[in-house]
Amino acid sequence: MNPLISLLQCLVLIISLFITISVSATRFNIPRLSPNAGAFVQGNYFARDHPKPLSAFDPVTEFQTIYYNQTLDHFNFRPDSFNTFQQRYLINFKHWGGSNISAPIFAYLGEEEAIDADLSIIGFLSENADKFQALQIFIEHRYYGQSVPFGSREEGFKNASTIGYFNSAQAMADYAEILIHVKKQLRAEHSPVIVIGASYGGMLASWFRLKYPHVALGALASSAPILYFEDIIPPEKGYYSIVTKDFQEASETCYQTIKKSWSEIDDIASKPEGLSFLSNKFRTCSPLTKSSELKDYLDTLYCEAAQYNSPPSYPVTVVCGGIDGVSSGNDTLSKIFAGVVAYYGNRSCYVNEPRNLSETDVGWSWQTCSDLVIPMGVSNESMFPPYQFDLQEYIDSCKALYGVPPRPHWATTYFGGHDIKLALYRFASNIIFSNGLRDPYSSGGVLENISDTVVAVLAKNGSHCLDVLLSDSTDPDWLVEQRKTEVKIIQGWLAEYYGELRAFEQ
């Protein structure tokens, strides 16, 4: 029997690993796969900067909240498997054309955060419901928000025996149960369901179409890096390579400054009083105890800026504006610090900011240590210090954290990924993989059409999940066009479906 670690121990370990991680140790800071930049470790860019929605969308008044008595374990018949928990979903009938005309259902499949967050930032459903006469549903992912089994977060996350039911296969079965239930309740058996997901939720959406084609007619998978498993993506084409490219394209000097900053930080840190010097230089909230505290902070800042590098302000440009704005005579670290200030604005202190772990921190840490092992290597060509992903080390670290090991091969066993075109060219249909090519996670996305109906919709200048976020009057033309393309594709699926519905039901 594996040792069971209490929530408290677990959090302490996570915190220590997140915050004090050294370059040589296992890197656990897999960037969040969320459409919501606010879910990032230090993330607040989105919250500060995101434009107000254009639409008169008001999630509080238009959506009904419903709790579904969900099965804890869909895949076994052990006595414990039959435990249930309350899973939250929200439903909006405002624009629905009804079951009489088998009007469609748009279902947003929640990712690693409370569904409230999605309700306030996702625009694709609310902005298109009218045009499609679509019912809107937002379903919360198990173990997030109000959908935590075992009665409380404390119990649900207590040890591997309770958190062990927390994985994507179970979450997808949850979604299937709820969607079938809703259709039955509404006598809308022939209403086609389009599932929409963003980031990790986009992975779930595309996988859902693959695993439950009888429940979902099609999927819009925004920024879904379904190929980021095992050895499919080599580090030199991975996440950090795109972050690097983003910065280099924004400014060659900025990129050069960042690239050489890491060794300067290490050099200074290794000297007597070096950490104290760095703490002063970066105005840290508490004195640095090792250089990795600073480096991880900067790493996260650059990743976050690149991942959510959205119009109108383009955070990468903002950071580089700060870095390049310091006159060339000055030292590298002054430039780097100027980049930090440009990004976060004036604060009393930076780095080692006192901060509570969010539920996304805790949940995502488990998910990347169980079924979603995303190997984040950094190649020599990047602007970051190189890092070779060591699978065994990763497994050992996860096991030390949770008492159970991850399953790094499970995602490709259950969902596939290798030779995806070969596997799906004559299989599947009706999936849009949308990606912004400036999004570092696009490196794990499907970037070319697999077939006529499993297609890639790309935005050269796009960032993470931009297409499904609320639209804005300042949106550039290419983003407006990208959304139109997606709507048109979905209209095509529906037209075909209704034709077949008429033909086959006769």
**Residue 500 lies near a copy of itself (rule: CB under 8 A):** yes
Q: Which helix (H) or strand (E) holds 455?
A: strand 454-459
When binding is defined by CB under 8 A, the residue of 15, 169, 391, 437 that contacts a copy of itself is 169
Residues 248-277 that bind a copy of itself (CB under 8 A): none
**Residue 448 lies near a copy of itself (rule: CB under 8 A):** no
When binding is defined by CB under 8 A, the residue of 248, 261, 370, 482 that contacts a copy of itself is 370
Q: Which helix (H) or strand (E) holds 277?
A: helix 274-281
Ranges of beta strands (E only) in 230-376 are none
Taking alpha carbons only, the member of 287, 302, 186 closest to residue 240 is 302
In 10 A of CB 139, how many CB atoms? 28
Which residue, chain included where needed, has tokens 């209209």? 491
Which residue, chain included where needed, has tokens 């498997």? 81
When binding is defined by CB under 8 A, the residue of 15, 176, 326, 437 that contacts a copy of itself is 176
Q: 87 pairs with which residues across the strands?
A: 68
Distances (CA, A) of 412 to 264, 353, 407, 408: 40, 38, 10, 8
Taking alpha carbons only, the member of 214, 52, 218 closest to residue 132 is 218
Q: How far is the CB of 359 from a copy of itself (least distance, A)?
A: 18
Whether the CB-CB separation of 92 and 135 falls below 8 Å is answered with: yes
Looking at the Cβ atoms of 396 and 419, the one nearer to a copy of itself is 419
Residue 3-32 contact track with a copy of itself, rule CB under 8 A, x = bound:
-x----------------------------
Q: How far is the CB of 250 from a copy of itself (least distance, A)?
A: 35
The residues annotated with a catalytic role in the active site are 199, 439, 464
When binding is defined by CB under 8 A, the residue of 117, 404, 459, 489 that contacts a copy of itself is 404
**Residue 48 lies near a copy of itself (rule: CB under 8 A):** no
**Residue 163 lies near a copy of itself (rule: CB under 8 A):** yes
When binding is defined by CB under 8 A, the residue of 166, 208, 282, 308 that contacts a copy of itself is 166
DSSP-assigned letters across all residues of 414-453: HH-BTBHHHHHTTS---EEEEEETTSGGGGGS--S-SSSS
Distances (CA, A) of 484 to 121, 124, 307, 477: 19, 11, 23, 10
Looking at the Cβ atoms of 165 and 297, the one nearer to a copy of itself is 165
Looking at the Cβ atoms of 122 and 193, the one nearer to a copy of itself is 193
* Type of residue numbered 339: G
Looking at the Cβ atoms of 129 and 398, the one nearer to a copy of itself is 398
**Residue 403 lies near a copy of itself (rule: CB under 8 A):** yes
Distance between CA atoms of residues 337 and 46, nearest Å: 20
Looking at the Cβ atoms of 290 and 407, the one nearer to a copy of itself is 407
Q: How far is the CB of 176 from a copy of itself (least distance, A)?
A: 5
Distance between CA atoms of residues 223 and 437, nearest Å: 9
When binding is defined by CB under 8 A, the residue of 28, 68, 138, 165 that contacts a copy of itself is 165
Reported as half-sphere exposure (CB side, CA atoms, 13 A), residue 272 has a value of 0
Instruction: Indicate the Cα dihedral angle 30, 410, 436, 246, nearest 10°.
Output: 40
Whether the CB-CB separation of 398 and 406 falls below 8 Å is answered with: yes
Q: How many residues bind a copy of itself (CB under 8 A)?
A: 70
**Residue 74 lies near a copy of itself (rule: CB under 8 A):** yes
Residue 384 makes CB contacts below 8 A (sequence gap 6+) with 240, 243, 244, 262, 299, 302, 378
Q: How far is the CB of 75 from a copy of itself (least distance, A)?
A: 4
When binding is defined by CB under 8 A, the residue of 40, 63, 239, 410 that contacts a copy of itself is 410
User: How would you classify residue 353: left for phi > 0, otherwise alpha for psi between -120 and 50, otherwise beta?
Assistant: beta
**Residue 357 lies near a copy of itself (rule: CB under 8 A):** no
Q: Which helix (H) or strand (E) holds 296?
A: helix 291-307
Whether the CB-CB separation of 218 and 493 falls below 8 Å is answered with: yes
Q: How far is the CB of 253 from a copy of itself (least distance, A)?
A: 40
When binding is defined by CB under 8 A, the residue of 100, 348, 473, 504 that contacts a copy of itself is 504
In 10 A of CB 44, how many CB atoms? 14
Q: How far is the CB of 506 from a copy of itself (least distance, A)?
A: 12
Residue 188-207 contact track with a copy of itself, rule CB under 8 A, x = bound:
-xx-----------------
Residues 211-240 that bind a copy of itself (CB under 8 A): 211-215
**Residue 502 lies near a copy of itself (rule: CB under 8 A):** no
Q: 218 pairs with which residues across the strands?
A: 194
Looking at the Cβ atoms of 1 and 56, the one nearer to a copy of itself is 1
* Interface region with a copy of itself, contact rule CB under 8 A, candidates 6-14, 41-49, 166-174, 231-239: 166-174
**Residue 187 lies near a copy of itself (rule: CB under 8 A):** no
**Residue 429 lies near a copy of itself (rule: CB under 8 A):** yes
Looking at the Cβ atoms of 230 and 467, the one nearer to a copy of itself is 230
**Residue 76 lies near a copy of itself (rule: CB under 8 A):** yes
Give me the residues that bind a copy of itself (CB under 8 A), please: 1-2, 4, 73-82, 160-161, 163-167, 169-170, 173, 176-177, 180, 189-190, 210-215, 370-371, 402-407, 409-410, 412-430, 453, 496-497, 500-501, 504-505
